[in-house]
Amino acid sequence: MPKILVTGGAGFIGSHVVDQFVEKGFEVIVLDDLSTGRASNLNPSAKFYQLDIRDPGVRDVFLTERPEYVSHHAAQMDVRRSVVQPLFDADVNILGSINLIECAKEFGVKRFVYISTGGAVYGEPERVPCEETDAINPICQYGASKHTVEHYLYMYNYNYKLKYTVLRYPNVFGPRQDPHGEAGVVAIFTGKMLAGESVMINGDGQQTRDFVYVGDCARANYLAVIHDHEPGIYNLGWGIPTSINELYETLARVTSYHQAVKYGPAKLGETRHIYLNASKAKKDLGWFPMVSLQDGLEKTVEYFKISEGFV
């Protein structure tokens, strides 16, 4: 039975990745400090270590468990917090990742799957949909810290032959996303709509994103592990823009929400238009998104109706 370590495996996306690997017969080790993840998200079939990725004790986990693969999701992933607390953002995302990469090198990990951000590394892109070879000009500290680790992985492959796959995620949504946090517009809108509260859109709502259902992103991690391929970077996405106004209107229909939307000031460091060309992932990994925005939103709303007590 192959063994994989999933960092951030109690979080929104990471927990779905854990579920995917458990379902496929992997032995799964979860590393999460529960600062944003939830114990309730943990798959009971996975072995759990509550630990910060910056902790020297991470090496002991590698020594004990000897994972063959790593899927690295743990991160400071709030764009707005990265702008306000850039030192904290860099500490977690860069130094924490290097701690893991060093362990992966020492203990002979077969492939290191690293979760980067297609929504933030390109900054305000020169063209859309973005391709992996396009210019990297992040306009927020989060995008800069995530991209820095991509360089480290290239270096560790060049110098030490550590195989890696970078998955640049789009805007991911689905069950277990925190409707009370800063992280995901779908979860925030859904929580407020189900509660009958007013919804605020930052800016004019014409900004566009590439929304992909969380299950599709979890499947990409599995495909990155089972398909032999050259180390490199892969966009995930539909390659189709959806405006925040369009998202709002679709969610309002799904939730039967009838209040008028409110508009507030745009947020510093947020990209205006971003969507991703994922043809490379399709060619090399056999990955493409399968759950439509409409179907994904319906699944998400049904989950929140139960988890937030709206049924």
- Residue range(s) occupied by CATH 3.90.25.10 in the chain: 174-208+240-276+291-307
**pLDDT at residue 79 in the model:** 82
Quote the CA–CA distance of 79 and 94 in Å, as a whole number.
15
Counting as low any pLDDT under 50, the low residues of the chain are: none
What is the three-state SS of 153-170? HHHHHHHHCCCEEEEEEC
Q: Provide the CATH topology of domain 3-172+211-238+279-285.
A: Rossmann fold (3.40.50)
Structure tokens at 172: 């991911």
**pLDDT at residue 270 in the model:** 78
- Which of 69, 122, 142, 248 does the annotation list as catalytic? 142
Whole-prediction pTM: 0.95
**pLDDT at residue 271 in the model:** 83
Q: What is the pLDDT of residues 25-81, one digit of tens each?
A: 999 999 999 999 999 999 999 999 999 999 999 999 999 999 999 999 999 988 889
Residues facing residue 167 across a β-bridge: 115, 234
Question: 174-208+240-276+291-307 has which CATH code?
Answer: 3.90.25.10
**pLDDT at residue 308 in the model:** 79
**pLDDT at residue 268 in the model:** 78
**pLDDT at residue 102 in the model:** 98
The answer to whether residue 142 is catalytic is: yes
- Residue range(s) occupied by CATH 3.40.50.720 in the chain: 3-172+211-238+279-285
- Which residues, 6 or more positions from 180, have their beta carbon under 8 angstroms from its beta carbon? 188, 191
Check residue 88 and give left, alpha or beta (phi > 0: left; psi -120 to 50: alpha).
alpha
